[in-house]
Structure 1
């Protein structure tokens, strides 16, 4: 037993996985620690301006990330020598920098076409630091080389410092620019340090490249990019619609309250990641074994999620008041559709990721996901413009329900296909 534990602790995959898990926790949870404080200090109006600007910039961040976290790390994992690693590093880094410049131009043009006011324009310029940091950050490289401890330590230090500075320096609602700078500079700091470690610790250097290399990298990451882009649209379209049609205060209230079920979804994420490999093994035995495994785990988790959802709805007023204060508690009824969105999101993880993806039917999952993205865009435009924050909240819930129906349809279609193949063989 002791030998097995020691072997596990020395296993490079296990160690790298633990560092990656710590990185995900700090990237997701630590910034949320400032949420109750910052929503009170800035107020719903200023927090709304910040939230819209951040969502706007996030669209361009995903363009620069493109999908290299998966396509790039895979290439590095298969690289046989230092020269090849340097060549991959050069091609992907230069592609990201080109995408960064293009994103900046598109962002400014889009901002003027949308008629964003002066404050929003200044904020997106400050928050574009996130995109620059993403362009030079090398998470994909550390992941591919299985040396995640470097980037994790950098992230932990920089995000901890950022959180401390926010608590120390942000004192009133006029400091939204400073808050944005403290929020964004973490990404730039991470990028600079990771580039330094890449050069001097890992000995990976820039090499020559061609325009054809850039095109090749864009082609390789295209499918991953489109999926990532749709996910960003799915999560950000509500705030975007509100930003173009409602007051800053409305945006701030919705953005703050929406974070509560979002945190709950993030808390489930490690559970989904932990059971995915095991369920994938069951599906490799047979489709029926996989479905039985998913059903068994779902029968345990879904009632717990149901009870948590019920409690969150019943005590929504107290929860919102406790976290954000009285300024936000008047809108506690937004929790109803958003908590139902949380419940359906967990269910859809089992129907989609744990069932379709783990059994090798990624295409069917992609079809269902694209349908839900179309639904959320249309519903947000229709309901958001007419009913404000409540319209966006219910649009989010309804689109998640559309995803549920689409996943059930795709899953039943896969089952029918497998039964037909089995009958043919018999």
Structure 2
């Protein structure tokens, strides 16, 4: 409950911040410039996932079950080293990709500036605080960093020419977060970094592989539509879709702390009994999902009013996008319970990764086909269909796991 309160304080802040900045930015920057920013951020997001490598799940689970401080330091050192290595690799990869796909100058400069957030991600230690089940530090760090970001946005972003300024303000938050969290771990928690050997780092990469592939596919799930629109449509269409997608994404963020809080807890319960763990998840889901469904219904029936209020009249003609996007939102929240809190938390990372592979194929195919046919509306519907595909697969996987556990007993 204590960790839940700290996380909800953070998530409330993270939810309110976009509600303050997005209406301002979509009006100040305009759909086209906001679309250019969204495309650049989208590409950088893929590199961010590579650096995270699924350590937020594998690392926190290992920390939660660590027997002593020495073991915690060993895990911390190996994962931190792994993230720094990946940070260097992805920077080189970014330069190569930009050259191959002939990214325009504005987007390339934006990507270089936004890469600061990847550096910050390599230093962030959210997984460690999650593992020791002490989330107050993460909340305090994020609130401080994002408060500065909010102030700088309103002070320095005044017109479409301030795109690069906004990129810098956006990304510096992650760097501040990473630096402060590293200092707290060293000074407050007294956890020391010790250079790991090759096999310790290799072990972390091996253990995190299935979660990494899942995380990478999850990132593709949430952002592939922007990527495909960036190549087949205009910056204006990208900006409109990226803005409209923010509404359901903010709602998903609001529910995210529930999963973060219960994940280490149910992970331990699954070690005792799979049925006991799944009952805990089911009880929480029965409270959470009806509330999320109610929000989706409100967004659908009042789509024009919500769009006009948040983004302005330029976006109202695209209000119908909230119908498939709100439906996607419900499936996304449900899949967190089915996939992360049941399949992954019970130690079946490989099965979860397999489910994602099939749903990813559906996502790519439907986004390309529907995107070419119906533009922004097509990719919105494709997102929902792909998420629904994942839901169906996860239900079958959970049934299979239950049968296997019953046979063992």
Interval of TM-score (by shorter of Structure 1 and Structure 2): 0.7 to 0.9
Q: d(CA) in 1 for partners of 2:392 and 2:240?
A: 30
Which residues of 2 match residues 23-422 of structure 1 at below 5 A?
23-27=10-14, 29-77=16-64, 78=66, 80-81=68-69, 85-270=72-257, 287=275, 294=282, 298=286, 305-349=292-336, 352=339, 364-411=351-398, 413=400, 421=407
RMSD over aligned CA atoms reads 3.4
- 1:297, distance to aligned residue in structure 2 (A): 5.9
- 1:402, distance to aligned residue in structure 2 (A): 1.7
Is the Cα contact below 8 Å between 1:241 and 1:385 reproduced in 2? no
2:68 counterpart SS class: coil
Q: d(CA) in 2 for partners of 1:217 and 1:272?
A: 23
In structure 2, stretches of 5+ residues that fail to align are none
CA spacing shift, 1:312–1:146, aligned 2, 3 Å: closer
- 1:167, distance to aligned residue in structure 2 (A): 1.7
CA spacing shift, 1:214–1:32, aligned 2, 3 Å: farther
Q: d(CA) in 2 for partners of 1:19 and 1:292?
A: 21
Q: d(CA) in 2 for partners of 1:321 and 1:410?
A: 42
CA spacing shift, 1:386–1:19, aligned 2, 3 Å: same
CA spacing shift, 1:151–1:357, aligned 2, 3 Å: closer
Compare 154-163 and 201-210 and name the one that shifted more: 201-210
- 1:405, distance to aligned residue in structure 2 (A): 2.9
CA spacing shift, 1:414–1:51, aligned 2, 3 Å: same
Compare 40-49 and 203-212 and name the one that shifted more: 203-212
Is the Cα contact below 8 Å between 1:44 and 1:249 reproduced in 2? yes
Is the Cα contact below 8 Å between 2:61 and 2:267 reproduced in 1? no
- 1:346, distance to aligned residue in structure 2 (A): 4.0
- 1:289, distance to aligned residue in structure 2 (A): 11
- 1:62, distance to aligned residue in structure 2 (A): 1.1
CA spacing shift, 1:135–1:27, aligned 2, 3 Å: farther
Q: d(CA) in 2 for partners of 1:302 and 1:30?
A: 24
Compare 406-415 and 214-223 and name the one that shifted more: 406-415
Q: d(CA) in 2 for partners of 1:398 and 1:115?
A: 31
Q: d(CA) in 1 for partners of 2:183 and 2:277?
A: 48
In structure 1, stretches of 5+ residues that fail to align are 1-13
Provide, for residues 22-78 of structure 1, a one-character-per-residue CA deviation record: whole Å limited to 9, x for no partner: 444444553443111111111111111111111110111111111223333444452
Is the Cα contact below 8 Å between 1:57 and 1:131 reproduced in 2? yes
Q: d(CA) in 2 for partners of 1:81 and 1:358?
A: 23
1:331 counterpart SS class: helix
- Equivalent residues, number: 407
1:56 counterpart SS class: helix
Q: d(CA) in 2 for partners of 1:118 and 1:49?
A: 11
- 1:288, distance to aligned residue in structure 2 (A): 10
Provide, for residues 295-339 of structure 1, a one-character-per-residue CA deviation record: whole Å limited to 9, x for no partner: 9964x7666555543332222111111110011111112122112
1:116 counterpart SS class: coil
Provide, for residues 92-114 of structure 1, a one-character-per-residue CA deviation record: whole Å limited to 9, x for no partner: 22221111110000011011111
Higher relative contact order, structure no. (Cα contacts within 8 Å, ≥ 6 residues apart): 2
- 1:187, distance to aligned residue in structure 2 (A): 0.9
Computing the radius of gyration from Cα coordinates, the structure with the larger value is 1
